[in-house]
Amino acid sequence: MTSPARILHAQNLFPKKQFGQNFLKDPSTARMIIQRSDLMPQDVVLEIGAGLGALTIPIARSAGKVYAVEKDGRLSEVLAGILASHGCSNVTLINKNILDVDIDQLARDENRPLVVFGNLPYNISSQVLIQLIKARTAVRFCILMFQKELARRIMSPPGDRDYGRLSVLLQYSADIRRIADIKAALFYPRPKVDSEVLGIHFKDAPAFAAEDEAFFSRVVKAAFSKRRKTLKNALAGSDLALAGEAVEQVLTDLAIEPSRRAETLSVEDFVKLSNALFKISPP
């Protein structure tokens, strides 16, 4: 594998900070991630941020088909040449922002759920995760690389200072496991922090089901939007348009102290709270 720095220099290209471009430069790390991913020969993969193909090439050699999404047009052109030189004829390049890709439609076109890989830029990681949660019936599992800080947030239990909206929404909808730690030195340009690869396997059904998942998501978002406020005040002051007295009564009925803060509630607590608030929410 030619180094990312050499490839970019030869094309008079430079990493774009606004795209969060950090290119994996160690082939053995890419192979290790694929080996630990449970990828199967018949799988159809959606890769987010294909870059210069460090993951795309070993994925293409292990899966049946790959949709490689790359937002940067010039990088996409370079990647097309790299893939051709490696004989990766089963890769379809998509020059788009992943947030504009219809994951459900891709899965329908292929008549099977997709496997999603990606090294997610920090600035859109949360948006991509929400997109994947919404499209989870079209996704078999995800193997995603995050900055350590975000990986901690995703895995954090209730009561932990890193526990937040993404922790609740992902733990509600998926089983999550650690795949690997990746040192910052293995990327070009070198990021400031190490990364972590997580395996996210969406559940067929949540252990505790929300009556309305869109409303559940709104409740979780409202509860964490003002972390210093009590749960009662955060919810009553949100766009849920619920009176403080009504919120307090629901919390009391559920034996949740109104003075507690969002980070102390378990996923089950949030489901129960959402279901109770849904019954009294304005139409």
- Other Cβ atoms within 10 Å of 280 Cβ, number: 12
Quick one: pLDDT band at residue 1, thresholds 50, 70, 90?
A: low
**What is the C-alpha separation between 207 and 38, in angstroms, rounded?**
24
Residue 276: the pLDDT is 97
**What is the C-alpha separation between 75 and 31, in angstroms, rounded?**
22
Strands 23-24 and 44-48: unpaired
Domains and CATH numbers, the chain: 4-202 (3.40.50.150), 213-280 (1.10.8.100)
Residue 270: the pLDDT is 98
Give the tokens for residue 52: 């210069």
Q: Which residue is listed with tokens 């160690």?
A: 26
**Percentage above 70 pLDDT, the chain:** 100
pLDDT tens for each residue of 83-134: 999 999 999 999 999 999 999 999 999 999 999 999 998 889 999 999 999 9
Peptide bond into 157 cis (omega under 30): no
Is the separation of the CB atoms in 5 and 109 below 8 Å? no
Is the separation of the CB atoms in 226 and 200 below 8 Å? no
**What is the C-alpha separation between 52 and 26, in angstroms, rounded?**
12
pLDDT tens for each residue of 42-99: 999 999 999 999 999 999 999 999 999 999 999 999 999 999 999 999 999 999 999 9
Q: Which of 2-16, 72-86, 137-151, 185-199 has the lowest mean pLDDT?
A: 2-16
**What is the C-alpha separation between 248 and 251, in angstroms, rounded?**
5
Residue 43: the pLDDT is 98
Task: List 23's β-bridge partners, or say none.
Answer: 188
**What is the C-alpha separation between 142 and 283, in angstroms, rounded?**
35
Is the separation of the CB atoms in 257 and 268 below 8 Å? no
**R_g over Cα of the chain:** 21
Residue 28: the pLDDT is 96
